Each structure stands twice: as C-alpha cells, then as structure tokens.
Amino acid sequence: MLVSAKEMLNKAREGKYAVGQFNINNLEWTKAILLTAQENNSPVILGVSEGAGKYMGGYHAIVGMVNGLIEDLGITVPVALHLDHGSYEGAKKCIEAGFSSIMFDGSHYPIAENIEKTTELVKEAAAKGLSLEAEVGSIGGEEDGVVGAGEVADPKECKQIADLNVTMLAAGIGNIHGKYPENWAGLDFEALAKINEAVGNMPLVLHGGTGIPDDMIAKAISLGVAKINVNTECQLVFAEATRKYIEAGKDLEGKGFDPRKLLAPGFEAIKAKVKEKMELFGSVNRA
Ligand code: G3H
Ligand code: ZN
C-alpha cells in the first residue's frame, strides 16, 4: 500500500538519516527501485516528474503500475508515490489520480503567489492524507523542462512556507539538477543552517542529489535534510550498462535482442546505484 511521506520523513529527520527519492520512467525503473528498497528494508519515495508522467501514459497508469507492483512483488516497506516539481494543475491531477505525496514547485512565482497556491494545495492534500512538499529559492539547472536560476532560499520565506503546514520543504542552497560543473562552489551550508533554524523540525529536501560528495551529504543530513532526490545518476548508469551490452554485440547473440534481456543490465545497474545511495543516506533497515 502506498503511504504518505510524512511519517517516514519525520522519523528520518529525528534519526539523522535521509530517505531517497528516486525518479521513475518505466516499469523496469520502478521494479528495480521497489525491489532494492525491499531487499534493504528501506523506506523509499518514487518520484514522477510531469514529463515522465506524460511519457508513462498518465498519472492513473502510474498509480496502477506502482500499486500492482507493490502487491505482486510483495513489497512491505513504506513506499510513497510522489509528484516531483509539480505545477498547480499537475498537483491537482495527481491528488485525484491516487498519488500519496505531492510536490508543488511554486518557486518561480513571487512569494505571495507561492504562499497562496501552496496554502490551497496543503488543504487538498491534507484532506486526503497526502504529504506535500513546497519549494523556496530554486534549484539550478534543468530537469524535464523545469528550469531554475539556482537562487539560495531566504530563511524568512522558508519559515513563511513551512508555517503553512507543508510536510517537507525544498530550499535552494546552491544545489543543481544534473551533473555538477567542475567549478561548482558546493552546497551553501551557512544558508542551510539558517533555514534549518528557521523551520524548526520540518524535514528539509535536498534536490540535485546526483554527484554530491559523501561528506556534503552527511553534513546536509546533520542540518535537517531528511529527503534526498536522485535522478540523473540512475539515468547515467542505466545508459552506460545498456551501451556496454550493445557495444559487446550481446543484442546480436541468440535472443539478446529480447527487451527482457536487452534491458536487464540497465535494470541491475539501477538496483546497484539505489542500494549505494540507500547505504549512503542511512535508510537501510529503517523501514
Ligand atoms: O527532483 C529531482 C532531483 O532533484 C534529481 O536531481 O537529477 O540532479 O539527481 P538529479
Ligand atoms: Zn529536483
């Protein structure tokens, strides 16, 4: 059964570890992440961007697939199905379709409008027992058409949004979607410390989890981060494993072209990457 992300994130914040949000794109991705969570007795959040939602056929199709896999694979660890960087309209659609968690990314609106829209969605999500993530400041780079300037969040604005009773808060702290550039200045821990102080016990969310060094992950967790989003890193290992298989000519041997064989190395690569992240974030055996 899908659950809201509230309990798992409050427990993570309290226990000083983080739950990974891993974005899904298709059945292989979803199955790999769910099985890895189960094998490692870890809670997990499946992230769905609006672009990936469209790609998979729509939000109802995704809810059906995820619920079906949870049942058929015997998944018993807590799983949240979460809209990632949702628009106001997208959030409403996912609440209706049966997601258990929503991110409304109002970071590109003036703060008053972000507050207004977040307030309304908090009400709708709470009425259905869903968790809601809001964003202040912005994440640099681009993810599935969502482009951010990389503005570091203002702690006062973070408190204003946290006070709306959101479940968790994503704050821009110099993090970037996709690969980090060579000259990246690193996470802004001074800003994170101030935000953490301003929002009390609210679980904070670190986007752009791909390629953040281990010591920065540990420091971020010590400063209130309880959810870390990883997307690009799974895509990179999937592509690399698939390329190796094809370059070795394995798709031409026997029935190597069968999609169940062709996609297997990528599937295993995602499993290994997700396990590595769960160990790094400290969520193993926390289900
Ligand atoms: O919202 C999703 C994430 O922030 C993923 O970022 O692709 O850099 O890992 P990433
Ligand atoms: Zn993100």
The mean of the pLDDT values for the chain is: 97
Report the CATH number at residue 117: 3.20.20.70
- For residue 63, the CA-to-ligand 1 centroid distance in Å is 21
Q: Quick check: is 59 in a domain?
A: yes
In a domain, 243, yes or no: no
At 86, the pLDDT band (50, 70, 90 cuts) reads: very high
Position 197 in a domain: yes
Question: In this predicted model, what pLDDT tens digit does every residue of 156-200 receive, in sequence order?
Answer: 999 999 999 999 999 999 999 999 999 999 999 999 999 999 999
ipTM of the complex: 0.99
CA of 70 to the centre of ligand 2 (A): 25
The verdict on residue 126 lying in a domain is yes
Asked if the structure places residue 155 within a domain, the reply is: yes
229 vs 141, residue with greater confidence: 229
pLDDT at residue number 146? 78
The answer on pLDDT for 140 being more than 90 is no
Lining residues, ligand 1, CB within 6 Å? 23, 47, 84-85, 143, 177-178, 207-210, 229-233
Q: CB–CB of 53/62 below 8 Å?
A: yes
The answer to whether the annotation marks 30 as part of a ligand binding site is no
The residues assigned a catalytic role are 84
pLDDT at 143 over 90: no
Q: How many domains does the chain have?
A: 1
Ligand 1, atom nearest to 103 Cα: 1
Domain with 221 in it? 6-232
Q: Could you tell me if residue 143 is inside a domain?
A: yes
Q: What pLDDT was estimated at residue 230? A: 98
Q: Is the pLDDT of residue 68 over 90?
A: yes
Quick one: which ligand is closest to 210's CA?
1
Compute the distance from residue 177 Cα to the ligand 2 centre, in Å.
Answer: 6
**Within-domain flag for 273:** no
Query: Residue 259 domain-assigned?
Result: no
